[in-house]
Amino acid sequence: MDKFSSIFMNRAIQLSINSVENGGGPFGSVIVKNNKIISEGSNMVTLKNDPTAHGEIVAIRKACKKLKKFNLDGTELYTSCEPCPMCLSAIYWSHIDIVYYGNSRIDAAQIGFDDNFIYEEFSKNFNYRKIPLKQKMKNESKEAFSLWDKKIDKIKY
């Protein structure tokens, strides 16, 4: 790990410690572009009553706002823990180039943050999941898709 990587990883770890001290969960993240931190995030789930306010998501939102774009290609994410399924999905959607993490998801499970059930749910047939997915009004729902498909000036992502 080079000098810059250690600095960025240490910052993510410090954010996770600060988060615990301030009433949040033990997770912190930084997003880096051209060897400079462009955003930071820590777990705010309980502080904001928002189940999506994980450290990585908070950092992604701030980076997108700062850069004024939704595509974060050319960036790196340093995070104190291996991303959960939601955060990993957001990382893919935002096109972050690489993720460096400290604790593993197994480490997180040992202190009560077990995401394994979500990975297991993804592999199940819709009919056997804890939260059922039921399709309704398929034909009516197609109108927005049709409009999007025909739109000439759409911004693809």
The catalytically annotated residue of 56, 76, 82, 120 is 56
SS3 for 84-134 is: CHHHHHHHHHHCCCEEEEEECHHHHHCCCCCCHHHHHHHCCCHHHCCCCCC
Q: Which residue has the tokens 């770890």?
A: 13
> At residue 79, what is the residue type?
T
Q: What is the rounded distance in angstroms from the CA atom of residue 16 to the CA atom of residue 81?
A: 9
| Residue 56 bears catalytic tag | yes
Q: What are the residue numbers of the active site?
A: 56
